[in-house]
Each structure stands twice: as structure tokens, then as C-alpha cells.
Amino acid sequence: IAYGQEEEPIFLGKEIAQHKDYSEETAKRIDEAVRTILDKAREQAFDILTKERTKLETLATELMQKETLEDADVRTLLGFTPISDGLQPVEA
């Protein structure tokens, strides 16, 4: 859903020529809804990072030593089984 028009005069900046075709109350409700979504997402991210801090520190330590990690390395460090791509080495 998009509120407001995206059209603006060619030579005027957005602030000067901004056209609002919705009320201040609608703008306030949109702002509140966006703020609620962002606050919830921030809280969830913080909770995940706090819960998984040990794994995050393990990854950071390994990256400091090796600089790069392959997918299988990351999965192993995090306690997951590496995904096999099904490819077999080819003998030359």
C-alpha cells in the first residue's frame, strides 16, 4: 500500500513540492504501525543475538583466525550438519 502521490514538479525539491493526499491522522497511524513493526523486529533480533551469543562469538573467533569460512565450516561451528551438494570429485 502506498499513500501519497509520487509526482512532483521538475525543478522543485521534495520538501517544497511534497503533496499529501492523506490526513495527519492517517500519517500518524502509519508512523505508529511502522514504529511497532520496527520495534518488534529489533527486539526479536536482540533476543536471537543474546540467545545465540556463544555461537556468534565462536564464529567471530574463527573468522578472526581464518578471515573466510565456507558454508560447511559455518554449519559445523553452529552445530548443524553440512549440506552435501551431491557432487563427487572428478579424477583427472
> For residue range 40-53, what is the model confidence (pLDDT) as tens digits?
999 999 999 999 99
Backbone dihedral angles phi then psi of residue 29, each to the nearest 5 degrees: -65, -40
0.75 surpassed by pTM = no
More confident residue, 17 or 85: 85
pLDDT reading at 89 higher than 60: no
Helix locations, 1-92, DSSP H: 14-17, 24-51, 53-66, 71-77
What are the structural domain ranges in the chain? 24-77
Amino acid letter, 3: Y
Which of 40, 60, 62 is CA-nearest to residue 52?
60
User: What's the pLDDT at 87?
Assistant: 56
Measure Cα distances from 56 to 21, 30, 49, 61 in Å.
46, 35, 8, 9
